[in-house]
Amino acid sequence: MESTTESAAAPADPTRPFGAAAVERGLLALLVVSPLACSTTAVDPFRLPELTVVLLVTAGLVGTRLTLAVAERRVPLPRPTDRPARVAVVAAGVFGLFATIAGAVTADAPWRAMLGEYGHANGLLLLVAVVVVFLVALDRLDEAAGGRLVVIAVGVALVVGVHALAQLLHIDPIDWRMERTDLAGTMGTRADAGAIVGLGVPLALGLGLAAREQRRRVGAAAVAIGLLALAAVIGSPAGASAALAGAAIVAVVWFVVRGWRRAAAVLGAVTVGALALVVSGVGGVGPLQALADRAGGAARWGWETALAMVADAPLSGVGLGAFNGHAGTARGPEVAAGSQVPASGVEPASLPLHLAAEGGLPLLAAFVALQVVVGVVLVRGLRATAGRLRWRLAGVGAAWAGWLVHGLVTSPGPAVWVWGVVLAALVIVVRRGRSTLVEPAAAPKSVAGIAGVLACAIGVAALVPLVADRVAGQGQALAVDGQPADAQLELERATRVNPLEARYWLERGELARAVGEGDLALRSYQEASRREPRDSVVPERAARVATQMEDTELAGAQWSLAVALDPWHPPLLDEAAAYWSEQGEPARGEALVERALRVEDEADRWALLGQVRLAAGDVAGAETAFAEAIERDPSATERLDLDALP
C-alpha cells in the first residue's frame, strides 16, 4: 500500500524553486487584472481599483512566502545564489527603507502618504508592494515561468490596445468614459494605456525571435507591429516612446548578433536622439513641442516645480503624497503662468523627479541603483547567452528599458509600476536560467492557515479605501439626481468606512454649501483640512462659505491660509483681493492683484486693480490701471466704474 502511494505522488522537480507555481499564479493575476481594474461607481474609478488589486495580490504573496519560510525553516528573506540578484535584493531593500521613511516621517498627511495623491495612488502602500513583488519574483521564479508570464503580458497589452481603439472610435461596448479625456476606460489615462501597449512590442519581438517555428515568428512579428500601431494611435507620447525604445533595443541586439555593429551603433544613436527630441517636446520645447498638447500640457512646469522641491529639501523630500500640497509654494510666477492650473493640478510628469521631490535624493539614489544593477545584468547576459535564451532576455530587457523611458515623461500609475518591477525581476530571472533551490518538506497546515489569515487580514484592509470610494460615488450620483439628503447620508457613511480620507469630507462640504447649509459645510471643510492640511482648495471653499455667512474672522483666516498655500494662482488671488478690499484693507488686496498680474496680464485684472486702488483713495493709480485695462481690451470701458473717478 505504501509503495502505491509513493508511486502515485508526483515527483518534485529539483530544478524549480519551492512555491514557484503559487508565486507565478500570483504574478500572473497581477499582470492581468491590474491594468484592467475599473469601477464606474467609485469617485476615483481607475487608480484606486488598480492599487487595490496590487495590494490584494501582494497580501497573497506575503502569505505564501511566510508559509514557504516555515517549510524551509529559515527567515523569509530572499537568498539568491548569484551575486547580481543579491545586489538587487539589497538595492530593493534600501529603496523600501527610504520609501518608508518618506511616508512615515516627513509626510504632512499620514493617510495621503500611505495611499498617494488623488489620481495617482502612488504612496507608501504601492512602493512597499512593488518591493515585495520584486523580491518574491526574484526569489521564486525561474526562466520557464518568466517565459509564460511574458506570453500573458503580450496578451494583456493586446486587450488594452483594442479597448483603447474602441474608445477612440466611440464604439466601446462597456462605455467606461470620463469627461476629462476621450480615453478613460481600462487604464484611466492615455499615458498608462500607451505604456502597457508599448511594453508589449519588445516582449512580442523577443518571443518571435526565440521561437523555433516560422509561423510563430511571423505571428509574433504581426502582434508586435499591431501593438506598435495601437501605441501610435492612442496618442500618448510616453507610450509611443516606450514602444519605439523597446523595439529599437531589440533591433540593436539583432544587428550585433548578425555582426552589423556599425548599423547597430547608428540605430542606437538615432534612437537616443529621437528620444531626446520626444522628451524635450513633451516638456514644451524644441521642434516637437506640439507633443506637449497630447501629453496634457508642457511637462517642464512640473519638472521645474519638482526641482524646486528637491532644492528646498534634498535629503528628506516633502513627503510621499505631498507633491501637490507643496507645489503652490515651490513654484514661482513663471511656472504658474506656464501651467495655468492651481497647485492641486500640477503634475510631476517624471518618475525620477517625483521620487526625488517626495522622498529626497536618497530615495532616488536607491531607485537608480536598482535600475543600474538590472541594466548591468542585462548587458552581461546578452553578451554571455546565445540562442533562445538571448532573445528572451533581449525582449524582457528591452521592455524594462521602455518602462524607464516611459517614466522619464510621466509618473506611472499602480499597474504600470507593477509591470516595471516585474520586468526588472524577469531580466535577472531569465539571465539566471534554472534555479538550484530544492524542494523541502511541505509546511504544516497550521502554519499555512496562520499565513492565510494574515494575508486575508491585509486583503480586507486593502479593500477598505475602494469600498469607501464606492459609497462616496453613490452619494455623488444621488446628488446629481437631485436627492441631496440621501446623498449626504451616503457621503457620511463613506467617512465612517474610511474616516482618514479628506475627499469625502470635502464632498460633504460642497453638497452642504450647494443646499445652503453653511454650518455643516464649514464643519466638513474643517474635517477635510485636518486630514489634508496643505490642500489650498479646502480653505478657499471654506472662505467663500464664511464670507457668505458674514463670519469675517473665519473668512479672513481661511483666505490667508489659501493664499499662503497657493500664492501664485491668479483666480484665487483675485478673489482674495476683492474680499480684503471690501473689508477695508485695499492695500492688502492691491498687493495680491499685483502678484496675480505677474502671472497673467489680463484686462479684467487691471480693472480689478483699478477698483482696489480707487477704494484706497489712490485716484491716479486707479486711472493708470483702468487705462491699462482699456489698452488690452477696448470693450472693458463698459465694465469699468469710470463715473467714480473725480
| Tens digits of residue pLDDT in 378-411 | 999 898 888 888 999 999 999 999 999 999 888 8
- Neighbouring residues of 240: CB distance < 8 A, sequence distance ≥ 6: 194, 198, 231, 232, 234, 278
The answer to whether the CB of 115 falls within 8 A of the CB of 401 is no
Identify the weakest region by mean pLDDT among 129-138, 292-301, 336-345, 376-385: 292-301
Q: Which helix or strand (DSSP H or E) is residue 362 part of?
A: helix 351-384
User: What does the pLDDT read at residue 443?
Assistant: 47
Q: Which helix or strand (DSSP H or E) is residue 381 part of?
A: helix 351-384
| Tens digits of residue pLDDT in 218-229 | 998 999 999 988
Residues 621-640, mean pLDDT to the nearest whole number: 81
Averaging pLDDT over each range in 269-283, 285-299, 362-376, 449-463, which range is the top one? 362-376
Residues 492-500, mean pLDDT to the nearest whole number: 91
d(CA 262, CA 459): 53
User: What does the pLDDT read at residue 39?
Assistant: 65
Query: Does position 640 have pLDDT exceeding 80, yes or no?
Result: no
Percentage of the chain modeled with pLDDT above 70 = 83
d(CA 56, CA 456): 8
Q: Which helix or strand (DSSP H or E) is residue 93 part of?
A: helix 83-104
Residues 375-379, mean pLDDT to the nearest whole number: 92
Query: Does position 559 have pLDDT exceeding 90, yes or no?
Result: yes
User: What does the pLDDT read at residue 3?
Assistant: 39
User: What does the pLDDT read at residue 78?
Assistant: 62
| Tens digits of residue pLDDT in 435-493 | 444 444 444 555 456 656 666 777 777 788 888 888 888 888 888 888 989 999 999 99
Residues 183-199, mean pLDDT to the nearest whole number: 75
With bands split at pLDDT 50, 70 and 90, how would you rate the model's confidence at 316? Answer: confident
- Neighbouring residues of 271: CB distance < 8 A, sequence distance ≥ 6: 244, 245, 248, 249, 252
516-524 contacts at long range (C-beta below 8 A, 24 or more positions apart): 518/545, 518/548, 518/549, 521/545, 522/546, 522/549, 522/554
Residues 319-335, mean pLDDT to the nearest whole number: 86
Which of 238 and 606 is assigned the larger pLDDT? Answer: 606
Which of 248 and 181 is assigned the larger pLDDT? Answer: 248
For the purposes of burial, counting CB atoms within 10 Å of the CB of 383, is it exposed (0-12), middle (13-18) or buried (19 or more)?
exposed
> Can you spell out the DSSP letters for 463-526?
HHHHHHHHHHHHHHHHHHTT-HHHHHHHHHHHHHH-TT-HHHHHHHHHHHHHTT-HHHHHHHHH
d(CA 154, CA 172): 21
d(CA 320, CA 315): 13
Can you tell me whether residue 613 is helix, strand or coil? Answer: helix
| Tens digits of residue pLDDT in 158-178 | 988 888 888 777 776 665 544
Q: Could you give the C-alpha distances from 274 to 133, 191, 281, in angstroms and in order?
A: 33, 18, 10
- Neighbouring residues of 81: CB distance < 8 A, sequence distance ≥ 6: 436
The answer to whether the CB of 503 falls within 8 A of the CB of 534 is no
Q: Could you give the C-alpha distances from 528 to 226, 504, 522, 564, in angstroms and in order?
A: 47, 8, 10, 17
d(CA 352, CA 365): 9
User: What does the pLDDT read at residue 14?
Assistant: 47
User: What does the pLDDT read at residue 434?
Assistant: 55
| Tens digits of residue pLDDT in 5-48 | 333 333 444 445 556 777 888 888 888 888 887 766 666 666 78
Average pLDDT score, the chain = 82
Selection from 599, 111, 283, 591 nearest residue 608 by Cα: 591
Query: Does position 423 have pLDDT exceeding 60, yes or no?
Result: yes
Selection from 491, 495, 494 nearest residue 508 by Cα: 491
Q: What domains does the chain contain, in order, with CATH numbers?
A: 18-443 (no CATH), 574-645 (1.25.40.10)
Given CA atoms 156, 415, 160, 33 in this order, what sign does their dihedral have? positive
Residue 41 phi/psi, 5-degree rounding, is -100, 5
User: What does the pLDDT read at residue 629?
Assistant: 85
Identify the weakest region by mean pLDDT among 99-108, 241-250, 327-336, 440-449: 440-449
